[in-house]
Amino acid sequence: MGRFINNFKLQGDKVIWIIIFLLSIISLLVVYSSTGTLAYKVKGGNTSYFFIKQLVLLLGCYFIIWVTHKIPYKHYSSWANMGLVVAVGMLLLAKIVGVNLNQASRWITIPVIGFNFQPSELAKLALILFVSRILSKFQTDKECQKEAFWKIIASIGVVCGIIFLDDFSTSALLGGICLMLMFIGRISAKYLLGTMGVGLGLIIVLLIIAPFLPDSFGRIHTVRNRILNFASPGEQKEDNGQNYQVDQAKIAIVSGGILGKGPGNSDQRNFLPHPYSDFIYAIILEEWGWVGGFGILALYLFLIYRAGSIVRKCDRTFPAFLVIGLSLSIVAQALTNMAVSINLIPVTGQPLPLVSMGGTSLIFTSAALGMILSVSRSVKEQDVLKHAEN
C-alpha cells in the first residue's frame, strides 16, 4: 500500500511545484476576469464557460506534468531523434493541410474532437531535446566540435526555417535559445558568430524585400509592419490593429497604477483584443497593479534560479543541457509576452506560459516542466543514495 501511495507522490523540486501551482491559480483568476464579457456574449450568458474550460485544461496539464516527471530523463535522450523527425513532419503537414488564419498555417485540427494543435510547440520541445543530446554526446571529444555544430545547425535551420514563415517570434526565440545552449556547450565562438551573422543578414534582407514578395510568402509582411509600427507609431497607413492593441494595453497599465483596481475590475478587457492570451499581462497590471506584475515576474525568474540549482547538481551533461534549454524557453517566452504588453518590443503574439488561456502552449509547457522535474527527481535520488553510502 505504501509503495502504491509513493508512486503518486509529487517528486522533484518542491519550489518549482509551488511556482506551477501559483501560476495556475493566477491563470484561473485572470482568465475568468478577462473572458467574462466574451463568454456572456458568445455563450448565452454563461460567464463561467472559459473559466471551466481553463480549469479542465489545467487539471489535464497537472496530469501531464506528473506523468513526464515520473519518466526517467534518460528516456528523453533516446527519444530525441524520433521526436525531431515527428515534429518536422507535423510542421510540414500544417503547411499542407493546416488551418490557415491571418496568412499563417500554424494549426492542425484533430478530427472528431476538433482540437487545434500547433506543431511549433512540439517542435520547440523536440529541438531542445535534440540539441541537448548532441551537445552531451560530443562534450568529451574536442575534435568533434565541428561535426556537432553542423548537426545542430542543420536541425535548427530546418525547424526554425519552417516556423519562420508563419511565426517569426517563435522561430527567433527558439533559434536564440539553441545558440545559447551551443555557447554553454563550448561550441567554437567563430561558428556561433558566423551563424548569427548569416541569420541576421537573411532576416534583414527578407524585411527589405518584403514589399516585393507575394502575400503567399508567409507573414513577413506582418513582421515588417509590426517593426515599423513599433519604430514609428502612428505613421504607418496599415498597422493591422497593432497600434490599437498597444494603446489599449497602455491604458490598462496606467489605470492600474501601483496597487491595481482589484481582481475582476478591469475595464480594458472590454476593449483590448485577446486580453486572455497575448495581452493577459496588461490585464494583470490593470487589476493587480505593478505590485502584482512584479510578483509574477519574480515567479518566472525564481523558476530559472531553481533550474540553475538543479543544473549545478547534475553529474551528467544531457540533463544539465535539457534543464537549461527548457527553463530558458519558458522564461524567455514569459519575458517576451511581458515586454510586448508594456511596449518594450513589437507585438509578437507569444502567450504567457501557464497563465494565458490556450491549449497547445499549456500542454507542451507542462511537458517541459515535467522534464525539468524529472531531472530534479533523479538528482535528489542520487543525493539520497550518496548519503546512504556515507
Checking if the pLDDT of 100 tops 70, the result is no
CA-angle at 353, arms to 373 and 311, nearest 5°: 30
Three cell numbers written together for 211 = 514589399
Closest CA to 355 of 96, 110, 27, 119: 27
Checking if the pLDDT of 115 tops 70, the result is no
The predicted structure's pLDDT at residue 304: 95
Q: From residue 194, how far is each of 151, 162, 187, 189, 201 by CA, in Å?
A: 16, 21, 12, 8, 11
The secondary structure of residue 99, as a DSSP letter, is: E
382 strand-pairing partners? none
Checking if the pLDDT of 212 tops 90, the result is no
Checking if the pLDDT of 1 tops 50, the result is no
pLDDT mean over 287-301: 95
Place of cell 497537472: 62
The predicted structure's pLDDT at residue 243: 74
Max Cα–Cα distance, the chain, nearest Å: 72
CA distance 133 to 25: 34
Alpha carbon 342 to chain centroid distance? 18
Per DSSP, the three-state class of 115 is strand
pLDDT tens-digit readout, 58-84: 999 999 999 999 999 999 999 999 999
Q: Tell me phi and psi for residue 12, to 5 degrees.
A: 95, -170
Place of cell 518594450: 344
End-to-end alpha carbon distance in the chain: 30
CB–CB of 284/318 below 8 Å? no
Domain locations in the chain? Answer: 1-70+242-390, 76-240
> Three-state SS string across 328-351, please?
HHHHHHHHHHHHHHCCCCCCCCCC
Checking if the pLDDT of 277 tops 80, the result is yes
Three cell numbers written together for 344 = 518594450
Three cell numbers written together for 267 = 475595464
pLDDT mean over 219-244: 68
Radius of gyration of the chain (CA): 22
Query: Which of 20-29, 164-173, 368-377 shows the lowest mean pLDDT across its residues?
Result: 164-173
Query: pTM for this one?
Result: 0.90
Q: From residue 348, how far is each of 76, 78, 337 by CA, in Å?
A: 30, 33, 8
CB–CB of 16/377 below 8 Å? no
CA distance 369 to 379: 15
CA distance 47 to 384: 49
pLDDT mean over 26-52: 84
325: how many CB neighbours lie within 10 A of its CB?
28
Banded pLDDT at 228 (limits 50, 70, 90)? confident
